């Protein structure tokens, strides 16, 4: 309880709670401000300095981040250029490889065509030789049969006429 002057000239007990609370609050605030005020001011100043330092550091980090962003964008552009160059080089290499493979394929096809012609020629000659040997063997068989069976008069005339025609032709050519 607080004693305050009442009326005209004395001290007494104030029974009004609202007034008493306001007076008590004012007294407590006055005491707190007088004792804690300088510490609170110092604390607020320190807090203000900390906030300003944090803002300055944040601004510096924002500048650094901007520079890093610029650097990253430049690196991205360089990477895009290099990727385009690599892509072009890859296309050129692929085209070269395709041309090389096509050229090799064409050479192999030409060699196969030559081999095919040579093989056909070989088998034609082989077939001709076999046919020739067959015909000759048949002729020789028939000649042996004729020789073994004996020659008749008509056959003698044919053979003689043949040799006479050959002899006549040979003399005319000279």
Q: Are 110 and 102 in contact (CB under 8 A)?
A: no
Per-residue pLDDT for 133 more than 50? yes
Q: Which two three-digit tokens encode residue 55?
A: 């803002």
**159/7 Cα distance (integer angstroms):** 186
- When pLDDT is averaged across residues 114-131 and rounded to a whole number, the result is 94
Residue 11: the pLDDT is 60
Split into its structural domains, the chain has a count of: 1
Residues 27-38 have pLDDT tens digits of 888 887 777 777
Cα 96 from Cα 102, distance rounded (Å):
10
The residue segments making up the domain with residue 86 are 3-173
Distance CA 89, CA 86 (A): 5
């Amino acid at each position: 309880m607080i004693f305050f002057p009442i009326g005209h000239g004395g001290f007494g007990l104030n029974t009004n709670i609202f007034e008493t609370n306001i007076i008590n609050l004012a007294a407590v605030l006055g005491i707190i401000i007088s004792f804690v005020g300088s510490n609170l001011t110092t604390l607020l100043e320190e807090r203000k300095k900390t906030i300003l330092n944090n803002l300055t550091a944040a601004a510096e980090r924002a500048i650094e981040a901007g520079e890093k962003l610029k650097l990253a964008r430049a690196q991205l552009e360089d990477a895009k250029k290099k990727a385009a160059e690599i892509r072009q080089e890859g296309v050129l290499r692929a085209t070269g490889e395709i041309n090389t493979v096509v050229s090799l394929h064409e050479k192999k096809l030409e060699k196969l065509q030559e081999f095919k012609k040579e093989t056909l020629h070989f088998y034609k000659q082989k077939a001709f030789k076999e046919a020739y040997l067959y015909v000759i063997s048949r002729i020789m068989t028939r000649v042996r049969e004729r020789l073994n069976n004996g020659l008749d008069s008509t056959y003698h005339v044919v053979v003689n006429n043949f040799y006479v025609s050959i002899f006549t032709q040979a003399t005319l050519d000279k």
